[in-house]
Structure formats: structure tokens, C-alpha cells
Structure 1
Amino acid sequence: MGLAAQFETIIHKQLNVHASWLPITVPYKLGDYGFISDGVFQKIGNVAEFNITFTQATGNDAALNFTSDSVTAIDSSAGAAVSVDPGIEIKASLTFKFNSDRSFLVKAPIINVAQIENVNQVVNQLKQVGNWRRKFIVVYQVYTAQNPLIISNLESGTEVTISGDGTAPKPFNVGSASAKFSLKTNKELGLELTGQTGPIALGLFKLNWLTGKPSILDNEDDEVEVIDLNEEPLTDTI
């Protein structure tokens, strides 16, 4: 299983939505549409291209604190393993030991949620689009992580050390002005995202042409086939 598929599994189990890949760096927006490939959403465009309009609302904030079972943390000041949460204070340095290949460390204590409020009205508009294809999927929620820490290793034996000066109460909010720390690793990482803000997860729906209503993709096995972009446009009549 690749990193993207692994990250999708983590996001689905922790937040019950789908992964934004690459997390943080790809600027997904409400109304983006596309398809699922290799377990993650692939953007084609935005429904605004079809003159689709919608109302944006704010959902409940979320948080994500995930560490693979094979990852251990050592507080150098105490010389012992510790349980790490997003709000812990680093007084000296903290070393994460990745004891298996392709493990993950994801710390996102603040995730803001934006969503389309009138999904049913959007579906009614999409039904009038002549070249809308069956397999198109639409982003109706965007989960934006504020200054998360996302790390994945490539091989076992990787060690990542975060050193702080003890003044930052929430060092995992690495983008804040008060977060003073450094990050070092002894091996190449598969994924390293720190000190940035952007989409980490997506809520997705698909137009159900049998019912004429939206179908929320809430299963990690949903719609995993690759779309055929040469497919004929829909001619169904509801």
C-alpha cells in the first residue's frame, strides 16, 4: 500500500471523511469535482465552470492526533518513553522512533471545516448539466489543518528529533510565532509537512441518478475505480 492510500485509511478512520492528497499543499476548494484513483480524490475542475452556485457554511472544528503503533517517543530530558499529545511542552528534545516501514505521525490540533450548506440544491443544478458524467465526485466539505505536523518514514530505524526551547506551549502548532524548534532526521522521509496551513481532508458526494439525490462517500472502499474521461456524457432523465 502506498503512502497516499495509507494516509487515506488514517483520515477515514479518524475523521470519517477522505484524505486530501497531497495534504496541506494542494489547494482544494468547495465545489471541486473529479474522481477517486488509488484511494484518493483527483481534481478535474470546479462546478463553477458550469455556473453552479452554492452557499458556504462553517462546520464544527475537528482535531487529529494519530501515531502509528510502531512509533515511539523518547523525551531526552527524562530519558524515557512518553505519551505525546498536540499540547505537550518540549523542554529539551523529543525523538520519534519509527520502528516499521511507512509509519505515520499526524498532529493536527486545530482543523477548521468549511462546507456547502445547500447540497440538495447543488445536485438539482448538476442534473441540468448536459455533460456531467456518472462518476464525477464533488467536494462539499474542506477540512483545513492549522499548522499541523505530518511525518511518514520510508524505512524502519528512522528517527526524527524535535528540539524546542521550552517557551512554546504547543510546539505542534509549528506555524505560530511562538513555536521555536528544529526538526532533524537520520534518514530520508517519505512525507514531511510542518508549519503550513491547508486542506487535510475532504467530504465528498456523488450525484445518485436513480434517486436524484446526493450520495455521501463515507466508506473508504467507495468509488475506487478510475474514471474513463472518454465516457459519454449522461443522458439520464430523472
Structure 2
Amino acid sequence: MGIAKQYNKRLHSEIGAYAAWLPMANQFELGDFGLISQGFFQRLGNIREFGVQVTGREGKPVELDYRSDGTRVVSVAGGVEVDMLPAAPIAARLRIEFRDREAYYLKASRSTVEEIPNLHEVAAKLANAPGWRKKYRVVWTTITGHDCIIATSTASSASLVLGGQADALLQVGVGAIGADVQVVSEEDVGIRVVGQTGVVGLKLFKLKVWSSDAKFLPAEDQPEGQLLDKDPAPDDDV
């Protein structure tokens, strides 16, 4: 299993979300529709194209702190490994070590979650929208990571080293990245994100009932669970 699929599988098992791939290098938003290909959501457009408008509301934040087995963070002060960095303005380093090839590390200071509140209404409109296809999936939740550190390895024994004052690096332990924290070195690192904010996870829904010729109209009191699936199987659509 490749690194991208491992990362995706972990996010889905922990928070029920698909990885927004590539991390940060995307512009996903609520109402985007598309298909799952090779395990990942591939955007085709937005449901605005079908005359369906959406508004978002704030959802419950999730913790973003995951790493592959065998991945560890080592603290170094005065050239010596320490259990905890001192809260003092002295030179120090944090070394993220990857034991295995195709490993990952993800940590964010916090997350913000935005979701579509009226899924039943949106799904009912899509069920009757000319041209809508049953296999389309729709982004109903976006999960944004703030001040993220995301790194992947391309070989065993890879490493990413961050340097700065010990008191600033202490904040990295809770996910906060100060301006004085810098990348000192890296070895066999693939993806490297340090201190950026962006969408890292997506929740998708898929219609259970549908009519391509707009002759089907779901009843207003039809249970949401009969109309849509808020966490469809992650099998590829194409």
C-alpha cells in the first residue's frame, strides 16, 4: 500500500474523512462533486453547476495528530537528546525520524470544520437535477488544519529536522509553528509542509435514490438515511 493510501486510510478510520490530496495544494470547498479514483476524491465541479446552492456552518473540531508506526520525534538541546526541551531561549532542534519507507507524520495546532447543515434538502434537489449521476459524491464537510506539519518519507531512516529556540520548538509539540522555527535539514522526505494552513480532510455523501429525468421527487418527510449515504464505501468509482 502506497503512502497516500496509508495516509488516507488512517484519516478515514480516525475521523471518517478522506484525505484532501495533495495536502494544502488543493482548493476543495463545500458542494464540490466528483468520483473516487485510486482511493482519492477527484473533483469534477461544484453542485452550483446544477443550480444547487449551499451554505456552511461551523462543525465540531477534530484532533489532527497522526503518525505511522515507527515514526518518532526526537528533541535535541545542546547537541544532546532530551526527554523534553527547556522553556528557554536556547538553540535546539526537533528531529522527525521515519523508520520505514512510505511513512507519514501529521500534526496541526488546531482544526476548523465546516459542514452543510441541510443535507436532506440539498440531496433532494440533486436527486431531481437533470444530468446528475448517482455515482457522484459531494463534499459536505471540509476539515482545515492550522499551522500544519505534514511530512512523508521516500526511504527508510528518512528524517526532517526543525531548528529554533527551545521555547519556540516546545510549541511545535502542541502543533504551533512560530516564524523563527525553520527547516534545518531533510533526508529522503517526499511531501514537506511546515506551518501552513489548508484543507486536509473531506467528508462525502452519495445519493441512494435518484432520477435522471427529474420525475422522482423525494417526500419532505423521507428519512435522511433513505435518501443519502453520509459515509459511502471508499471503493473506487472509476
State the TM-score bracket (shorter-chain normalisation): 0.7 to 0.9
Q: Quick one: which of 202, 224, 235 aligns to 2:235? A: 224
Q: Distance in 2 between matches of 1:62 and 1:34?
A: 24
Q: Distance in 2 between matches of 1:72 and 1:114?
A: 31
Once the two structures are superposed, residues 158-210 of structure 1 have per-residue CA deviations (whole angstroms, 9 ceiling, x without a partner) of 12111121342523422xxx441121334231211122211000011001117
Residue equivalent to 1:204: 204
Q: 1:106 to 1:83 in 2, by over 3 A?
A: farther
Q: 1:13 to 1:90 in 2, by over 3 A?
A: farther
Q: Distance in 2 between matches of 1:82 and 1:49?
A: 54
Residue equivalent to 1:51: 51
The alpha carbon displacement at 1:105 in A equals 1.0
The equivalences for 1:73-222 within 5 A come to 73-77=73-77, 79-80=80-81, 82=83, 92-168=92-168, 170-171=171-172, 172-174=175-177, 178-209=178-209, 213-217=227-231, 222=233
Q: Distance in 2 between matches of 1:183 and 1:54?
A: 40
What's the % identity of the aligned pairs?
Answer: 27
Q: 1:191 to 1:134 in 2, by over 3 A?
A: same
What TM-score do the two structures reach when normalised by structure 1?
Answer: 0.83
Once the two structures are superposed, residues 32-77 of structure 1 have per-residue CA deviations (whole angstroms, 9 ceiling, x without a partner) of 0001111111100000011102331110112211122211222222
Structure 1 stretches (4+) deviating beyond 6 angstroms?
A: none
Q: Partner of 1:76: helix, strand, or coil? A: strand
How many residues are matched?
217
Q: Distance in 2 between matches of 1:82 and 1:160?
A: 18
Name whichever of 44-53 and 9-18 sits farther off. Answer: 9-18
Q: Distance in 1 between matches of 2:123 and 2:91?
A: 52
Q: Distance in 1 between matches of 2:186 and 2:34?
A: 38
Q: Distance in 2 between matches of 1:127 and 1:81?
A: 59
Q: Distance in 1 between matches of 2:44 and 2:90?
A: 42
Structure 2 alignment gaps of length 5 or more = 211-224
Kept in 2, the 8 Å contact 1:101–1:153? The answer is yes
Q: Partner of 2:42: helix, strand, or coil? A: strand
Higher normalized helix content (fraction of residues) = 2
Q: Partner of 1:162: helix, strand, or coil? A: strand
Kept in 2, the 8 Å contact 1:170–1:179? The answer is no
Q: Distance in 2 between matches of 1:133 and 1:124?
A: 13
Q: Distance in 2 between matches of 1:7 and 1:116?
A: 25
- Alignment RMSD (CA, Å): 2.3
